Each structure stands twice: as C-alpha cells, then as structure tokens.
Amino acid sequence: MGIIEKMRLDGKKGFVTGGARGIGKSTAAAFAEAGADVAIVDIDICEAKKTAEEISAGTGRKVIAVECDCTVPEQVDRMTAVVVSELGGLDFCHNNAGICINAPAEEMTFEQWYKVININLNGIFLTDIAAGKYMLAHGGGSIINTASMSGHIVNVPQPQCAYNASKAGVIQLTKSLAIEWARRNVRVNSISPGYIGTELTLNSDSLKPLISKWNEMAPLGRLGKPEELQSICVYLAGDTSTFTTGADFIVDGAFTCF
C-alpha cells in the first residue's frame, strides 16, 4: 500500500466542533473526502444540517449534524454519545469551535473575557475529555485542537488579550493531555492557523478594515484559505501520524517568523 492509500481515513469516524462554517466546515469536508464518516457539531443546528447535507452529497459519506454548546458539560457528553451511536464509534475529532472579541484590555468587561475563555479554552477541554474518555476505553484515537498563531504572538493592530490567552492555553492543554495519554494510544495535537479568509473574516465590518494591514505585514502578502488547513488535519486524524503527539503545527505563511 502506497503513502496516499495509507493516508486515507476509510472506516474512521469523527466529529468537528464549530463545523458548520469556516475552518471546521473545510476540515469536515476533507475528512469525508478521505473516506471518514463525520458529525458536524455546532450550536447553529440549522447551518450544521445544511453543511452535513452538502458534504454528504459531495462525498457519499455518512455526515450527520449534532447540536451542541461546547461549554455545557452535559451537552458535550450527550453529543459524544450521539456521535458514537449514529456513526458507530469515534476515532478522531477536530475541536475547533471558538470566538474572538476585540476590545482594549482596560475596557474589556469580565463577561467578554469569560465568554472568550469559556468557549475557546473550557470548550476545548470539555470536548477533549469527552472524546478522550471514549478513546481511552476503546483502543485509542486522535484529537486535533484548533489553537492559533495568537498563542505564540500578540496580534496587532487589534486588541485581543482574551483570545491570545485562550489560544496559548489550548496549546499547553494539548501538550499536557498528549503526555498524560501517550502510552494509552490517544494522540493530541493542535494546529495554529494564521489569518484565514473565512466568510466571517471577509464579511465582518470590524475585521475587513484590518485585512489590508495584515496582508501588508504577512510574508506571503495574503490571508490563508480554509482549504490550506485540510491536509494537516487529515494527516493528524489518520494512521500515518502515529508517532505525532503533543505537537503544535503553525500554519501561518511564516507570519510568526519575525
């Protein structure tokens, strides 16, 4: 069997949180194209259903939509149970749900701070643990977390201290779980995207004015595309990455190199 065949995900089952749009939608499509059955997990169940139908129609794989607020433990546990029941198991997951609130630190309310930390870090913790418990009891698996280059640098010109702190936390959480579970066949890795041209970024009134500044600073002179994160996630979900755990993959067009 050649390397391309080995990288396929035939027979594997997984879920993607924040999977209805943007990066999550793109990686979910890639997993399905590689042969996996996938659950689109999102708080927006209507959009999740549209995405699931679209990916299933395009790939022929079983793709379901599951509603879940990833900050609520009971909902995360229920979501995991539904995925296992509907898909027949859980081999990988991409924990990707997240938000960003841009506000100067001295003006940021505690409610704003907590909302970002709760979704971006607590939500990743809850989905990691729910998936991890199943994988530990069933022979192993692969967990992929979406961190950010913002876990490595301080973005400018926008003020986003809560986001930066949450993503740095995701990277360290990833490494911690990887160490704890290394000898029990559960791998945990993270990806740290740079600025990615999702629909949210490109259509946001608050973010659109920043794009020209970001592109001016970027070594490649442009935003990344969601599909430019697909291959690393397919690699991490599959069996060719069995010696890869505790790693953070920065995919930022060299933005963090200076």
Among the listed residues 13, 167, 192, 235, the single catalytic one is 167
By the 10 Å C-beta count (0-12 exposed, 13-18 middle, 19+ buried), 101 is classed as: middle
Closest by CA to 19, choosing from 132, 101, 125, 127, is: 127
Residues in contact with 85: Cβ distance below 8 Å, sequence separation at least 6, in sequence order: none
How crowded is the C-beta side of 173, counted as CA atoms within 13 Å? 26
Among the listed residues 134, 163, 195, 235, the single catalytic one is 163
Q: Reduced to 3 states, what is the DSSP secondary structure of residue 225?
A: coil
Among the listed residues 12, 13, 49, 148, the single catalytic one is 148
Known catalytic membership, residue 134:
no
Known catalytic membership, residue 49:
no
**What would the two tokens of residue 15 be?**
């879920």
Q: What's phi and psi for 250, nearest 5 deg?
A: -85, 120
Q: How far apart are CA 36 and CA 10, in angstroms?
A: 5
Known catalytic membership, residue 163:
yes
Closest by CA to 158, choosing from 166, 150, 169, 168, is: 150
> Is the separation of the CB atoms in 196 and 100 below 8 Å?
no
Q: How far apart are CA 52 and CA 130, in angstroms?
A: 22
Which residues carry out catalysis?
148, 163, 167
